[in-house]
Amino acid sequence: MDDTLTVAVRVKPGASRARVGGRFDGPHGPALVIAVTAPAVDGRATEAARRALADALGVRPAAVSLRTGAASRDKLFLVDRSAPELPDVLRRLRDGSAE
């Protein structure tokens, strides 16, 4: 599946402000931290994280889908590889060269 990129994410629901960036070593390996203001109720935090990830990567929200982790803070998202620079953007966000 080289037309998609799997992105490990650690979601922090109920944050005071939304933010994408930072690294969390979770069950799926190095994960991108996404803080969202939405509560962890009825999938709202997951949806907010999906949209925040799409925005941070510069892709349409429809290009990002949840693969696993609907009821967990540790999630795997699939991102359609519409741009070849996606892995580099993801690495910068996760490893701290972006806020």
In the chain, where the domains are located:
4-95
Q: Which CATH architecture has domain 4-95?
A: 2-Layer Sandwich (3.30)
Q: What is the pLDDT of residues 71-98, one digit of tens each?
A: 999 999 999 987 778 889 999 999 875 4
- Distance separating alpha carbons of residues 20 and 2, to the nearest angstrom: 24
The reported pLDDT for the residue numbered 98 is: 45
In the chain, alpha helices (H): 44-57, 86-95
Question: DSSP class of residue 18?
Answer: -
Residues 19-40 pLDDT 10s: 999 999 999 999 999 999 999 9
Sign of the alpha-carbon torsion through 29, 96, 2, 80 = positive
